[in-house]
Amino acid sequence: TIKFVIKNSGQVKHEFSLGTEAELKEHYETMKKFPEMEHDEPSKISLAPGKQGEIIWQFTKAGDVNFACLYPGHYDAGMKGQVKVSKK
């Protein structure tokens, strides 16, 4: 179990979203249509400039888990990465 503490130090709204590459790309397409949508999923958090939040996530299997900011243009600008989960 990991607690991600995320702070938006930027000047625009950002989000932190965990998921598979396919899930992130699907959500990104939705965000392009509805950029101001609110999130209530445990794997996502949206943060206004200067705000901080957290996600507590339990990784249940080994492998790569992706994360990204899916506001339009942010993912394409490189706001993405991976968490590598190893076996116990």
Look at phi and psi of residue 73 and say left if phi exceeds 0, alpha if psi is from -120 to 50, else beta.
left
Rounded Cα gap, residues 67 and 16, in angstroms: 7
Return the CATH number at 75. 2.60.40.420
Read off φ and ψ for residue 63, nearest 5 degrees.
135, -170
DSSP state of 44: E
pLDDT in 10s for each residue of the chain, 88 residues:
999 999 999 999 999 999 999 999 999 999 999 888 888 899 999 999 999 999 999 999 999 999 999 999 999 999 999 999 998 7
Q: How many domains does the chain have?
A: 1
Domain that holds residue 74: 2-85
